[in-house]
Structure 1
Amino acid sequence: SSHEHKLNFKKSKEVCLSYIQDAMLQKQWKRAAEFLTFYMESLEKDSSTESMGPSEIIWRIGTEILCHHSHSSMKEFNSFIEQMKTSGVKRYLKVCLEHVFHLLCNGLIDEAYQNLSLAESWRFGEQTTIQDKEMKLIQAYRGLLDYYNWSKQKTILLQHGQDGFEDLSVEQEMHSCFRKAAVNLKEVIKIPGVWDQFVKCYVDVRACFTD
């Protein structure tokens, strides 16, 4: 019967999750990944509404496994994260932020910036209070990366002087980064909270230019 099928599915799902958690506790990432694959395949085969619930679990567990699995690649991580972004609208911005942090930890600054820009332009229905806070974080970190790029361009300019076409293009790029950083950082420090790093960057940017 349909009821019996749901009970059996729920039981097998719980058993599979316990296997995944056990493997993760023992740092057996390959084994955990295999169980997670089986878990996801089981959900895809099931047609009941029960299969719609665990996307949060899959995202959390999957991210943890991919971060620790010795054979996982950035391509696999990106693919998994993109899949998770589309699995739940309410979690989209949260997953985007986690994706950005992972890219930054791996030194992929340009990719992180691109993802922040895409996330900032995302819209779906009426924005919740939580999503509004997440969007502010996305804007803040984009401002932080604009500051990073501005600082990098400023260093290049100081090292090479202000002569030549190449340096002119660097100066133009630096001004562009300054404007974007100033706008985003100015907005985020208006919000109550601990923004020490953002305030420091904003003060540094403003110190080089007058209003």
Structure 2
Amino acid sequence: MLETFVIPILGSLLAGGLIGFEREYKSRPAGLRTHTLVALASTLLMLAAARQGDWDITFFDTQDIVTDPTRMAHGILTGIGFLCAGVIFRHGFSIQGLTTATTLWMTSALGMLFGVGLWGLASVGTAVTLVVLVLFRLFYRYLPRRNDIDVIVRLRGDGATSGQEIEALLRGLGLRAEAVRQRLLGDADVLEVAFKVVSPRGLHLETMVDALRGVDDVRGFELAPREE
């Protein structure tokens, strides 16, 4: 009883809890409870699938029972795909939630490993997942990389400032700016221009804010650094 059910269930709860805690700490859409339940559900289903001979089902006397736990694994991974899709969303030009979706998929895989008795592999997989989530984030801070920012500027529709002038202003700050969308709002009262901007690592958003606030025709703007 202990090795058959208790250890796999406790292992999946611990694995899902640790991964979920990291996501909860980062305030992601799926956190501690979601990851823990995903791991637990995967473990329980695989425990049941591996013991189909114990199912309380009446079969014909001449009918053979063929156990195939891999079919349950396929069903779990298919179902978890729908759950993962729910945490991926688009904000501006950015796609967010990919890492959280991946951790849900990974948590489900770890739960299945605990369910089929591969405790060592599941434990190593849990540790490596935490290393990727925690230590890689620390390394990421010091890697040479560019900062991608989604910039939306709203100008007076009848003003003298055009989208090209705002683009030139951003380039004057040392940014790589490209206008990707323009549209008129409120019966042509407001011209909204969206830019994809690449900035040096050391540039602060306050520099861009001060520059845009200095333009008379600017009615409002949004700066959204892209994340995962």
Larger relative contact order, structure 1 or 2 (CA cutoff 8 Å, min sep 6): 2
Structure richer in helix, relative to its length: 1
| TM-score grouping bracket, smaller chain normalisation | under 0.3
Structure richer in strand, relative to its length: 2
